[in-house]
Amino acid sequence: MTDLFSPLRLGAIELPNRVVMSSLTRNRAGEGNVPTDLMVEYYRQRASAGLILTEASPVCAEGHGYPRTPGIHTAEQIAGWRKVTDAVHAAGGRIAIQLWHVGRISHPDLQPDGAAPVAPSALRPAGQAVTFTGMQDYVTPRALETAEIPGVIAAFAQAAKNAMAAGFDGVEIHGGNGYLVDQFLRSSTNQRSDAYGGSKENRARLLLEIIAAVTAAICNDRVGLRLSPVTPFNDISDTNPQATFDYVVGELNRFDLAFLDILQGTGGSPQEQWLPFDYARLRAIYKGNLILNNGYDFASAQQAIASGAAAAIAFGRALLANPDLVERFRRGAPLNQPDYERLYVGEEKGYTDYPFLPA
């Protein structure tokens, strides 16, 4: 019987098990948003997961929206990530980087030359940005000109090439959670009147052009995608998410990607997971490997794999607090609980100091 411990091939990436580490922002990068030796240890500790998806990594300077998030757009960042991938591979693991552009979820304090963040439309999000000087209200972003969009696409393609130079096994394009690609996809944040706005086909155009560019740059069998059809995170929504994402997922089939990673529900607690959205319909539409994400425990993950609802399951908080999660699942051992106060601060505290099971 196929279960969480069964091997799996995701495109060109061979996994020893079906436990995937979900992308988790941790805000521990060093000067210049360069990965640090502490980050090397953090990822090395979790190399027993079938596949690690790194924290989101901005593809360009304008793509940053939080302090101390490691980029993949400078030589120093590439060299820093190379230390991470070398350590993970030496420990027998596989690792893919999540490619990110935050769009309007930023602040001039985090942008080159103090510029306004960019977005599909000049709509100010509710809420506050995390900056080096504390929380500040979001500002009204600048709508991207149509002529600027090829530059955004090129940044994703170059970042994918940079990821290969850094030794990653693959990349995951971040198309969810209310960031730039998702801002184009969703009707609440995209009020454009050009070829990238209006209909669901037009709103999906940026995502599909990014996928085409990234797969041309590094080959489709090392490219995955994250989507989050109904999460309201970062003040985002869609008038008809089922129609929007049925269309998007159908279009993905022509790319034959390594995987599609779907965040179910709001991204909050497990009780919020099953909102009125037909994920089984996406499974029926999509012909490739599907990773499901949000609120799974060992039993529900096993059931999803055995039923064919997913090829693999991504765990976030559980792998954050349990670097040896696969072994804990094998033994039926209790799990460490996350230190929520140190998710984004604390250096090694709440980061690399979670206990392992005794040998």
pLDDT grade for 267, boundaries at 50, 70 and 90: low
For the record, the structure tokens of 130 come out as 């995390």
Q: Whole-angstrom Cα distance, residue 232 to residue 251?
A: 23
CB hemisphere CA count around 194 (13 angstroms)? 13
- CA distance readout (Å), 282 to 14, 242, 256: 24, 9, 15
Residue 273: what pLDDT?
Answer: 47
135 pairs with which residues across the strands? 130
Largest Cα separation within the chain, whole Å, is 60
Which one from 179, 279, 296, 351 is the annotated catalytic residue? 179
Nearest-CA neighbor of 145 among 111, 193, 83?
A: 193
The answer to whether residue 150 scores a pLDDT higher than 80 is yes
Residue 268: what pLDDT?
Answer: 57
For the record, the structure tokens of 318 come out as 């559980």
CATH of the domain at 38: 3.20.20.70
166: in domain: yes
348: in domain: no
The answer to whether residue 269 scores a pLDDT higher than 90 is no
Termini Cα distance of the chain? 28
Nearest-CA neighbor of 39 among 77, 81, 79?
A: 81
Digit-coded pLDDT (tens) for 271-292: 444 457 899 999 999 999 999 9
357: in domain: no
Rounded to 10 deg, the angle between the 149-165 and 205-218 helix axes is 30
For the record, the structure tokens of 295 come out as 């609120």
Q: Whole-angstrom Cα distance, residue 10 to residue 316?
A: 19
296: in domain: yes
- Please state whether the predicted TM-score (pTM) of the whole model is above 0.85: yes
Residue 56: what pLDDT?
Answer: 98
Digit-coded pLDDT (tens) for 295-313: 899 999 999 999 999 999 9
Alpha helices (H) along 195-338: 200-203, 205-218, 241-252, 279-285, 298-307, 317-321, 325-331
252: in domain: yes
316: in domain: yes
179 is catalytic: yes
1: in domain: no
For the record, the structure tokens of 232 come out as 């309201």
> How many domains does the structure of the chain reveal?
1
351: in domain: no
Domain that holds residue 243: 8-342
Nearest-CA neighbor of 185 among 278, 252, 112, 270?
A: 252
